[in-house]
Amino acid sequence: MSDARAPQPATDAVALSHVLDRLARADSAPWLHQEVARRMAERLPVILRPPETWLDWWGHTGAGAAAVQAVWPQSRRSVAEPTSALVERSRSALRAPWWAWGQRRQDAAQSVALSTEVPAGQAQMLWSNLTLHASPDPATTLALWHRALAVDGFVMFSTFGPDTLRELRSVYAGLGWPSPAPPYADMHDLGDLLVHGGFADPVMDQEMLQLTWSSPETLLAELRGLGGHLGLERFAGLRTPRWRARLLRALGERADGQGRIRMSFELVYGHAYKPVPRPARGELATVSLDALRATLPKRSA
Query: Greater confidence, 4 or 203?
Result: 203
pTM of the model: 0.83
Question: For the segment 86-144, what is each residue's pLDDT rounded down to a tens digit?
Answer: 988 888 776 544 444 444 444 443 444 444 468 899 999 999 999 999 988 899 999 99
Q: What CATH number is given for 13-162+183-214+267-276 in this structure?
A: 3.40.50.150
Predicted pLDDT of residue 93: 73
Predicted pLDDT of residue 12: 81
Instruction: Give the C-alpha separation, 87 to 95, whole Å.
Output: 12
Give, as one character, the DSSP assignment of residue 128.
E
Predicted pLDDT of residue 8: 55
3-state secondary structure 231-244: ECCCCCCCCCHHHH
> What are the boundaries of each domain within the chain?
13-162+183-214+267-276
Question: For the segment 184-229, what is each residue's pLDDT rounded down to a tens digit?
Answer: 999 999 999 999 999 999 999 999 999 999 999 999 999 998 887 8
DSSP of 40-84, one letter per residue? HHTTGGG-SS--SEEEEETHHHHT-HHHHHHH-TTSEEEEEESSH
Question: For the segment 162-179, what is each residue's pLDDT rounded down to a tens digit?
Answer: 999 999 999 999 999 999
Give, as one character, the DSSP assignment of residue 181.
S
